[in-house]
Structure formats: C-alpha cells, structure tokens
Structure 1
Amino acid sequence: MARYGKEHKQATRQRITETAGRRFKRDGIDGSGIATLMADAGLTNGAFYAHFESKDDLVTTIIADQLRGQREWISSTATDRAGVERLVREYLSPTHRDNPEEGCPSAALLDEIGRCPDAAKQAYTDGLLGFIDDIAAVLAPRDPQSAQAKMLSAYALMVGTMQLSRALTDRQLSDQVLEQGIQNVLTLLDIT
C-alpha cells in the first residue's frame, strides 16, 4: 500500500478545514459531528485522526483559518476610509445575511466560540485583534491604539446586527435592521 506524501496530507487537511468551516458556519459547531464533517470532505471518520487530535483541535484550527481569511479580505478592502465604509456595507448586506456558510465566523459562531476551550478562544482573540488593529490603523494612522476600542465596539455592533437580521422571519424588517446597522456603524466610526 502506497503512503501519501506530505503535500497530499496538507491538501487533505486543508480540504477538511475548508468544508468543516462552511458546515460549522451553517449548522453550528455543536450541530456538526465528525462523521458529517468528514463526509463533506469526501473522507472516512478514521481519516480524521490522521489530521486532528480531537474535534476541539479542529475547531481551534478552523477559527484561526477563518479569521486569517477574513483578515486577508479586510486588508485588501479597508485600505482607506472609503474602503472601511465599503467593508461595513458588504458585511451588513443581504448577501452576507443569506449565505452564512461563506461569511463571517463571528456572526455565525460567536455564541459557541464563547463556550469553547481556551485554545479556541485564544485563536479567536488573536485573529480578531489582528484585523481590528488593521482597521484601527486605517482609521487613526498616527495612534491606532486609540481606535482599537471604538473598532471593537463597531465590530460588535456589526456582528450583533447580522445575527439579529438572520433571526428575523420578516425579510423587510431584516433589511431595515441591516440598513440601520450600516448607518449606526458609520456614525460610530465617524465615516458618514
């Protein structure tokens, strides 16, 4: 029986984290068992432990990967104040609301991340502060630290707005919540 090389193992691990990340954001961490996650990746349950020590290890990896991807998107979008506004509008859009599996891990998983082990919470904290500090540097280039707390508050408002808009059955009301959230965040960040 031929052994797979290191590159194949890395590609397989990446496939697991990508498919599991989408599944977690759609169905939740607790609502996604290893069997389902591995089936999504086209693999058997037994293959899981060749890549991760436990589901908690997978969750920590996915949180770090998802936030790294989010930071890449943010750093390419929020290069100036107009970019920060574009980011807020894209984040609080019906498209993001209607596609949680492709969107922000915070809006989809924050309540569950709060109940995760410390390693997952640390991965979340590190990833979050990375992109919060990037945006703060755009908003206050001479003193980004001064903008960090304001940006954290704005992000909390964005995440909560997205979560509320997803929970409403009235589409028109949900759209209004998103639009008001955009205005509130832009006002908070002095971008309007």
Structure 2
Amino acid sequence: MVRYGKEHKQATRQRIVETAGRRFKRDGIDGSGVATLMKDAGLTNGAFYAHFESKEDLVATAVCEQLRGQREWLTSFEPGRAGIEAMVRTYLSPEHRDNPEEGCPSAALLDEISRCADPTKQAYTDSVLGIIDDIAARLAPRDLRSARVKVLSVYALMVGTLQLARALADRRLADEVLEQGIRNALAALDAGPEH
C-alpha cells in the first residue's frame, strides 16, 4: 500500500474542494452527488471520506473557499469609489451571468445554503461578512459599522439581480435587468445615511 505525504493529501483535498465548488455552482448542491464530485476530481468514491466527514462538510468547505476566492477577487479593484463601481459592473455583467460555475457562490447557491444545516449556514455567514467588511472598508473606512449594513443590503440587491437575470429566458430583458441593477446598486451605495 502506498502512503502519501501530508502535502499530497492537502493537494488532493484542495482539488476536491475546487472541483466541487464549480460543480455546486453549476448544478446545485442537491444536483451534485459525491460520486460525481469525486469523478470530477479524478478520484474514487472511497477517497472522499479520507478528506471529509460528510457531503455537508464538503459543502461548507467549498462555499467558504469560493467566498475566500471572491475576497481575493475584490483586491484586484482599485481602492475607493471607482474600484467599487468597477466591481459592481463586473459582478452584474452578462459574462458573470452566463458563467455561474466561475462566479459568485451566493448568486448560484443562496437558496440551497438556506436549507443547509446550521454549521454550514454559520460558515457561509462568517465568510460573506468578510466580503461585506472588505467592501465597507473601501466605502467608508471611518464608519465601518453603518457601512456594513448598507453594503450587505447592496450585496443582497446584486445577488438577487444576478439570480433573476440568469432565470429570464429573454436575453435582452436580462441585460436590462443587469443594467438597472448596476444603477440601483450604485445609487444605494452613494445614498447618505438614513435618519
């Protein structure tokens, strides 16, 4: 029997997480069985339990990893308002709409995450709040607390807009929904504090 080192095991686990993240976003959590996920990673079903306690464990890990990638993506935009606008426009683009497996896990999986067990929901919450705080720090570095609620609301608007645009059969209408979503998100970000 061949024994693999810690690095090999970690690399194999990472491959499973990455391929599962893409598959979940494309086919959904419920539409992605362990056998399919392991085949995508080029592994046997038996290897799954050497890396994860359950499919739910993999879901939580994959969603957190996808959100970590999204946080890294945010750093590619310049600081300040211009960077936020570029991020909004990229997020609500036809390219993002048309490639869910490469995009935001929230837009692809939110309805399924809401039906997951509490530990998965908590892992999602912690990870998405990291994204929100990163954006809030760009928007209002001196008032993160009030910016957090505003950014969370705008994030929800963007996720819902993308979900709706993906569901519409009329491509022109879907494009218009994305454009209006951009205007709505930017207007909400620029609005002053509520009194």
User: TM class by shorter-chain length?
Assistant: over 0.9
Find the aligned partners of 1:79 and 1:114 in 2 and give their Cα distance.
32
CA RMSD of aligned residues (A): 1.0
Partner of 2:187: 187
Shift of 1:64: 1.1
Q: Kindly provide the amino acid, as one letter, of the partner of residue 155 in structure 2.
A: Y
Q: Is the 8 A contact 1:92 1:182 kept in 2?
A: yes
Shift of 1:80: 1.3
Shift of 1:144: 1.1
Partner of 2:161: 161
1:76-120 CA distances to partner (integer Å, 9 max, x unpaired)? 325211000000000000000000000000000000000101111
Find the aligned partners of 2:18 and 2:2 in 1 and give their Cα distance.
26
Partner of 1:85: 85
Instruction: Extract structure 1 runs of 4+ deviating beyond 6 A.
Output: none
Find the aligned partners of 2:126 and 2:38 in 1 and give their Cα distance.
27
Find the aligned partners of 2:75 and 2:128 in 1 and give their Cα distance.
13
Q: Is the 8 A contact 1:75 1:131 kept in 2?
A: no
Partner of 1:117: 117
Shift of 1:134: 1.1
What is the 5 A alignment of 1:1-192? 1-77=1-77, 79-190=79-190
Structure 2: gaps spanning 5 or more residues: none
After TM superposition, the score normalised by the length of structure 1 is 0.97
Find the aligned partners of 2:140 and 2:87 in 1 and give their Cα distance.
17
Shift of 1:75: 2.8
Q: Kindly provide the amino acid, as one letter, of the partner of residue 148 in structure 1.
A: R
User: Identical aligned pairs, as a percentage?
Assistant: 76
Q: Kindly provide the amino acid, as one letter, of the partner of residue 40 in structure 2.
A: D
After TM superposition, the score normalised by the length of structure 2 is 0.96
Structure 1: gaps spanning 5 or more residues: none
